[in-house]
Amino acid sequence: MKLNLRVWRQKNAGAEGAMATYEVDGVSPDMSFLEMLDTLNEDLILRGEDPVAFDHDCREGICGACSLVINGDAHGPERTTTCQLHMRSFRDGDTIDVEPWRASAFPVVKDLVVDRSAFDRIIRSGGYVSVPTGSAPEAHATPVPKADADFAFEHAECIGCGACVAACPNGSAMLFTSAKVNHLNVLPQGAPERETRVLDMVAQMDAEGFGGCTLTGECATACPKGIPLPSIAAMNKEWLRARRKVK
Amino acid sequence: MSYLDFTVGEPIADTKAPAGPIAERWDARRFEAKLVNPANRRKHRIIVVGTGLAGGSAGATLAEQGYHVVQFCFQDSPRRAHSIAAQGGINAAKNYRNDGDSVHRLFYDTVKGGDFRARESNVHRLAQISVEIIDQCVAQGVPFAREYGGLLDTRSFGGVQVSRTFYARGQTGQQLLLGAYQALSRQIAAGNVEMHARTEMLDLIVVEGRARGIVARDLITGEISTHYADAVVLATGGYGNVFYLSTNAMNSNATAVWRAHRRGAYFANPCFTQIHPTCIPRTGDHQSKLTLMSESLRNDGRIWVPKAQGDTRPAAEIPEDERDYYLERIYPSFGNLVPRDIASRAAKNVCDEGRGVGPGGQGVYLDFADAIRRLGRDAVEARYGNLFDMYERITAENPYEVPMRIYPAVHYTMGGLWVDYDLQTTVPGLFAIGEANFSDHGANRLGASALMQGLADGYFVLPATINDYLARNPHADPLTDEHPVVREVLAETEDRISLLLSVDGDRTPDSFHRELGEVMWEFCGMARTEEGLRTALRRIPEIREEFWRRIKVPGTGEEFNQSLEKANRIVDYLELAELMCLDALNRAESCGGHFREESQTPDGEAARRDEEFSYAAAWEFTPTAPVLHKEELSFEYVHPTQRSYA
Amino acid sequence: MALAPSKDTATAKGAAAKGSASAKGTASVKGTASARPPSRTPSRGFWSSTIGKKTVMAVSGLIMLAYLVAHVAGNLKVFFGPEEFNGYAHWLRVMGAPVLHHEWGLWLARIVLLAAVGAHAVSAYQLSRRDIRARPTRYVHRRKGSSYATRTMRWGGIIVGLFIVWHVLDLTTGTVHPGFESGRPYQNVIDTFSTWYGNTIYIVAMLAVGLHVRHGFWSAAQTLGVGNARRERALRLLANVLALALTAGFIAVPVGVMTGVVN
């Protein structure tokens, strides 16, 4: 296949960026999207040009590093991560626009690479259970109803890629934050810090400059792990509950 | 002088493992280890490199104890370390099933599974600690699979006969890593851990014989900086990416361990690599990595190839009597569930015979037709639905209708930096944990044991043993960048980077990496011969020479430069690869993942040669040729037998 | 693999927030440290939180929604003739008597409504400002309908707000209503809906109300944490029914006047 790529190029955080156009030939439908970019980069290097910078690591859809907006969709047209998107989803002669995640809380580092450390700071503000190593009770001391365990798991699947923020017209991180809040708050192990967790994580989320939620549902549509939209309502409920309990 | 001129040095006499009954050794060691007064702990700085299961859990635990931890990862967030990709599960001798499991059985299985090339004391400790790991992770909120009664579910994994594997669907590694990451995050917020993300360790600073710090590069600005501490912990994972194509993450690399090796840490058993039998075959030259399909698929899938060579008919058109279910044929009692190394080698053999399937003939069928007939499609979907989806996403083939195609791929490296019972390398003050060290899996790792070892090292072993080192070496003189040793290390690092940038040749970093990978896969992969290894040992220096002549790295060192990162890692692969081949050549026996064609039983199985090779090979770096130090392995509790799965 | 170097073809055109490559426009695409909003100290305060503000919006919205339900019920009395309609209008003034003094009930309702409108508008304004700041750069490749709900809520809210002002000046105070007669609401209503502009403004505004209620009711349920996967369908259905019933109910009056059913 032969493709027209329009890629966001930006030398560094302080520089101005622009879309640049490249023609890529010899693309196999079996290539992943990132492998297609690899072949572009190989050629750019040999031509003495700067290859396109993009974040990637595991290339099996679990580390959450890859982060491209492809034709306006976070992670592209399929419900998966960019690294698991294959070129068979495109047609010969297509023009494909590739852009970085856009949100003021995710500033561009270079080309398609953005700084997602805001997510780490949200987790640091309360996305954990305070249990120093060695202090844990026997694992079977606290049974967890299967439904709760499954609910926790469904939310714990979040890979922290940031597609929810990229897809949201408000640059909101509600789906990410709610995934972690719901994962820990439903479990008995997370109960002692249930109120402070949600209050602190939401406060940090707001302080990072993410937008508010207008429930457009774009985040859940873009989420490669299928974190559901009601996750946000569940966090709102937790937050209101915590407001009542904590003075 | 070439690597072939290696010499044999003094054997390793003391591993610091206490004597006495094996079940009491860990207690004994913990009691003998000196402690650091809690008030003094915050005066100690400890560098931890890597934030995977081992590094993340170690950083969090050391910080909880009161140490000042300075931690590094090259990823943009500590949550992305490649431990996250582990699918299957984590072993623990909880015996919740009442199926006869025990610490001793886990110990026994691990020593035997490792083909008697691991240190008994370490393995027993690992089995003991496995129980505490589950408690810790559950308390952190790791959502393990549960039964309807609310208790934890377990399954049998990797051919063992007890159900001791705890799991969180196919994402156990992710969930355990997030647990460790959350614990680490809590310590970062508390100010006890100073976290440097997107910062890669490039060298180790050893002053007066002790590890005192590292040289690191900020991957965004390109700034090279020094960081000092009282001890350095490497939790940087394995070196499977030497092979270019592996199931490792793209950026997993060997630079930290190789630099440490060059600064004096012995490298043990570098040839022990695990080839995982069930990976998705490559589709072409563009392939950048290989994807693992969980081993659990072999519980219900049947592996076969056509009986005839070059049979290109679609699977459905090959009648039953023209199919060769070769694992069931050769190993009637274990069938498709033979250990990883055996399954991998068998797949290679049938493909070498020209009976492989799919493009390039590098694949075998993993067929679920029987399982679907027997259990119904819904039951198969319930068990493997997510794996089938993943397979279909990558290959565009529906495994419910056509058999999966699989092929072995490099997955894990049992070798690594040599460590003693305290997980300390031969450089005092330098510790190695998780996959970065060599210790617990011998020549072959059992399924669901990597997560166990990483967390055991990080949560429980290192935090107990590092105290002893710090208590005995309480006051180190403060270092500055003006110290002659530091200046030298810094200069070497800067020179290497400017050299890479200045060659301005005509080949990309990836082209060299791919070339090296092909040599390694061909000659140091699933089956190794003396002749092949000698060829590799001749080829690798040639590639290295060409690398330094023709490498092209665009851009500068003072910016975000992914090509430079890659090239710098390849420099180290090109040296480590040579040591791997040398080690494979030296070990003229077959054991676990290391198969020397010259050493096999009449049935074609791996034949160990215990009289000659019952040792861990710890290699010392010298500027000319390596020196081999042998750590004799003694088996007091599990007596070596030839593995048999027929 | 062949490669055409045409790096400059698509330069910042369309990339900047305002779709221009001017110096001013491109400034907003920079990812400098200063482009990032200053990270404020996290606050647990109710009003300073996005969820707190959303809660205010949800509660005030539901108050107004309840009012609309009562309002539409009253409006439909127009179909039963002037006596019943005017009688109802009169009752609004003596509502709560004899406990409440003349018009006190009405004023109480007016005050609550005014507060609700104010709270709704202020939180909407502040949240919108914040949302726009959080996503200063648009994607060059725009998708269709990606921010449909947000846009309808913002523009719809403004349309409804302006309508309320006109509506009060038209039928409560009569300021913009030539020939307005206090105390004869039936006549005034027929009057308004006998003009083309009166009908147009009203019908457009009621469609906006419908759309606003449709997303707003469901959204309020999510904000207040009532929504979950199980109730999802029921809530969506209820939102649609409410929106449809309100819009149809309100529009029935001008349609009735136009068709002569009401005269």
Contact partners, residue A171, CB within 8 Å, separation at least 6? A102, A103, A104, A105, A106, A165, A210, A211, C131, C134, C135
Tell me if A179 sits within 8 A of A127, measured CB to CB.
no
Domain count, chain A: 2
Query: What is the least distance, in Å, from the CA of C238 to any CA of chain A?
Result: 17
Query: In the predicted model, what is the mean pLDDT of chain C?
Result: 84
Q: What digits encode the pLDDT tens for the residues B564-580?
A: 999 999 999 999 999 99
Distance (Å, whole) CA B400 – CA B384: 11
* Greatest distance between any 2 Cα atoms in chain C: 89
H helix runs in chain C, sequence order: 23-27, 50-75, 82-94, 104-134, 148-171, 185-192, 196-223, 232-259
**For B277-410, which CATH class?**
alpha beta
Q: What digits encode the pLDDT tens for the residues B183-205?
A: 999 999 999 999 999 999 999 99
Share of chain B above pLDDT 90, in %: 89
Q: Is A49 on the interface with C (CB under 8 A)?
A: yes
Tell whether A104 and A128 lie within a shared domain.
no
| A133 with B181: Cβ contact below 8 A | no
Q: Is B571 on the interface with A (CB under 8 A)?
A: no
Q: Which residue of A has its CA nearest to B96?
A: A140
Q: What digits encode the pLDDT tens for the residues A38-91?
A: 999 999 999 999 999 999 999 999 999 999 999 999 999 999 999 999 999 999
Distance of CA B439 to the CA centre of its chain: 11
DSSP 3-state assignment of A138? coil
Task: Kindly provide the b/e burial profile for residues A165-201, where b requires at least 16 CB atoms within 10 angstroms of the residue's own CB.
Answer: bbbbbbbbbbbbbbbbbbbbbbbebbeebbbebbbbb
Tell whether A129 and A105 lie within a shared domain.
no
Task: Kindly provide the b/e burial profile for residues B15-41, where b requires at least 16 CB atoms within 10 angstroms of the residue's own CB.
Answer: bbbbeeebeebbeebbeebeebeeeeb
Band of the pLDDT at C9, cuts 50, 70, 90? Answer: very low
Q: Report CA dihedral (B189, B194, B195, B198) to the nearest 10 degrees.
A: 150
Is B340 part of the annotated catalytic residue set?
yes
Residue B160, classified by CB atoms within 10 Å of its CB into exposed (0-12), middle (13-18) or buried (19+), is buried
| A189 with B250: Cβ contact below 8 A | no
Residue C2 has pLDDT above 80, yes or no: no
Query: What is the least distance, in Å, from the CA of B581 to any CA of chain A?
Result: 27
Q: What digits encode the pLDDT tens for the residues B23-65?
A: 999 999 999 999 999 999 999 999 999 999 999 999 999 999 9
Which structural domain range is residue A220 located in? 117-245
Residue B124 has pLDDT above 50, yes or no: yes
Share of chain C above pLDDT 90, in %: 70
| C7 with A9: Cβ contact below 8 A | yes
User: Which residue in A216, A221, A244 has the most chain C C-beta atoms within 10 A of its own C-beta, making it the best mutation to test that interface?
Assistant: A216
Residue C184, classified by CB atoms within 10 Å of its CB into exposed (0-12), middle (13-18) or buried (19+), is middle
Chain A, 187 to 206: residues with Cβ < 8 Å from chain C are 199-200, 202-206
Distance (Å, whole) CA B56 – CA B194: 13
Active-site residue identified among B164, B302, B340, B539: B340
Residue C34 has pLDDT above 50, yes or no: no
Distance (Å, whole) CA B105 – CA B153: 20
Neighboring chain B residues of A113 at a CB cutoff of 8 Å: 560
Tell whether A221 and A191 lie within a shared domain.
yes
Query: In chain B, what are the domain boundaries?
Result: 3-85+114-140+170-275+412-472, 277-410, 484-610
Q: What is the CATH number of the domain that holds A176?
A: 1.10.1060.10
Q: Is A71 on the interface with C (CB under 8 A)?
A: yes
Tell whether A158 and A51 lie within a shared domain.
no
Q: Is A24 on the interface with B (CB under 8 A)?
A: no
- Cross-chain CB nearest to B168 (options A36, A65, A153): A153
Q: Which option is the CATH number for B3-85+114-140+170-275+412-472: 3.50.50.60, 3.30.230.10, 3.40.710.10, 3.40.50.2300? A: 3.50.50.60
Q: Could you tell me the strand order of the sheet in which B273-279 lies?
A: B273-279, B404-413, B364-367, B302-306, B323-324
pTM beyond 0.90: the answer is yes
Band of the pLDDT at C17, cuts 50, 70, 90? Answer: very low
CB atoms closer than 10 angstroms to residue C154: 18
Distance (Å, whole) CA B242 – CA B253: 8
Q: Is A209 on the interface with C (CB under 8 A)?
A: yes
Q: Is A217 on the interface with C (CB under 8 A)?
A: yes
Residue B123 has pLDDT above 90, yes or no: yes
Contact partners, residue B409, CB within 8 Å, separation at least 6? B245, B246, B247, B275, B276, B279, B290, B292
Q: Is A10 on the interface with C (CB under 8 A)?
A: yes
Band of the pLDDT at B597, cuts 50, 70, 90? Answer: very high
Q: Is A14 on the interface with C (CB under 8 A)?
A: yes
Same topology, domains B277-410 and B484-610? Answer is no
pLDDT at B356: 95
Chain A, 74 to 133: residues with Cβ < 8 Å from chain C are 97, 99, 102-105, 107-109, 114, 125
Q: Which residue of A has its CA nearest to B555?
A: A50
Residue B11 has pLDDT above 90, yes or no: yes
pLDDT at C32: 36
Neighboring chain A residues of B251 at a CB cutoff of 8 Å: 57
Mean pLDDT for C37-49 is 76
Distance (Å, whole) CA B175 – CA C160: 48
- The last residue of a domain, from among A93, A110, A127: A110
| A23 with C4: Cβ contact below 8 A | yes
**For B484-610, which CATH class?**
mainly alpha
Tell whether A170 and A71 lie within a shared domain.
no
Distance (Å, whole) CA A117 – CA A208: 10
Tell whether A140 and A24 lie within a shared domain.
no
H or E element in which residue A181 lies: helix A174-185
Chain B, 263 to 302: residues with Cβ < 8 Å from chain A are 283-284, 286-289, 291-292
Distance (Å, whole) CA C128 – CA C122: 10
Tell whether A86 and A138 lie within a shared domain.
no
Tell whether A104 and A143 lie within a shared domain.
no
CATH architecture of C49-133+147-259: Up-down Bundle (1.20)
Across-strand partners of B323?
A: B306
Q: What digits encode the pLDDT tens for the residues C123-139?
A: 999 999 999 999 999 99
Chain B, 70 to 99: residues with Cβ < 8 Å from chain A are 75-80, 82, 84-85, 94, 96
Query: In the predicted model, what is the mean pLDDT of chain B?
Result: 95
Q: What digits encode the pLDDT tens for the residues C145-170?
A: 655 667 788 899 999 999 999 999 99
pLDDT at B2: 85
- Cross-chain CB nearest to A28 (options B82, B150, B286): B286
Q: What is the CATH number of the domain that holds A73?
A: 3.10.20.30
For the record, the structure tokens of C10 come out as 């698509």
With touching defined as 3 or more inter-chain CB pairs under 8 Å, the answer for chains B and C is no
